[in-house]
Amino acid sequence: MNTIKKSIKKKIVLRTLAMPSDTNANGDIFGGWIMSQMDMGGAILAKQISKGKVVTLKVHEMIFFKRISIGDLVSCYAHCINIGNTSLKIKIEVWIKKITSQPLGSKFKIAKAIFTYVAIDKNGNPRFIFK
């Protein structure tokens, strides 16, 4: 992959509230739900940069640091770390803000990963990001 380094300050790409319907058998927020929020947030940034449709190619080393509880405010922050001919690598961090169970304003980083997205054309084929 011919790559161009892209250094962009991380920005918020998605914010939502953890709901009871998103829990696992232990009553915590399901890790798959967290990963889907990260994927949506990363795709938003990848679409903005590539100026079109993208698909998720790969998730690199997903790490969870803390659990999420119902009612936590979930924020996904992202920045592009690499742009290739047809793909982008986006680093994504998930932070939560405890609204009810911790002192007001307590924030915690609970997950991180790098997602690779591929820019696609209207037929679903890879396309060049920069022409």
Domain residue spans in the chain?
4-119
The pLDDT tens digits for 52-83 are 999 999 999 899 999 899 999 999 999 999 99
Are the beta carbons of 101 and 69 closer than 8 angstroms?
yes
Give mean pLDDT, residues 81-94: 97
Among 1.10.468.10, 3.10.129.10, 3.30.390.10, 3.40.605.10, name the CATH number for the domain at 4-119: 3.10.129.10
CA–CA dist 91, 108 (Å, integer): 17
Query: Which pairing describes strands 54-64 and 107-119: parallel, antiparallel, or unpaired?
Result: antiparallel
Model pTM above 0.75: yes
Q: Which of 109, 98, 115 is nearest to 36 (CA)?
A: 115
